[in-house]
Amino acid sequence: MKANVGNTEKVIRIIIAIVLFSMWFFLEGNMRYIALVGIIPLVTALFSFCPLWTVFGINTCKKQ
């Protein structure tokens, strides 16, 4: 797995994950489980790898 998520994008993904996780407290019933979608941006930010970016050939990491 080669990193393809840059630092700025990591921060954005973590913020999105926090927003999605916070929906757990505002939604009622089974709709709460939509908040668990926040796992995806959180994991991709922590591992600096997004499989979808690989498919589209996108790389937001700085060139080394």
Residue 34 pLDDT more than 90? yes
Q: What is the pLDDT of residue 45?
A: 96
Position 62 scores a pLDDT of: 84
**What digits encode the pLDDT tens for the residues 4-27?**
999 999 999 999 999 999 999 999
Q: What angle, 0 to 180 degrees and rounded to 10, lies between the N-to-C axes of helices 39-47 and 7-22?
A: 160
d(CA 58, CA 63): 13
Using CB atoms within 10 A of its CB, is residue 62 exposed (0-12), middle (13-18) or buried (19+)?
exposed
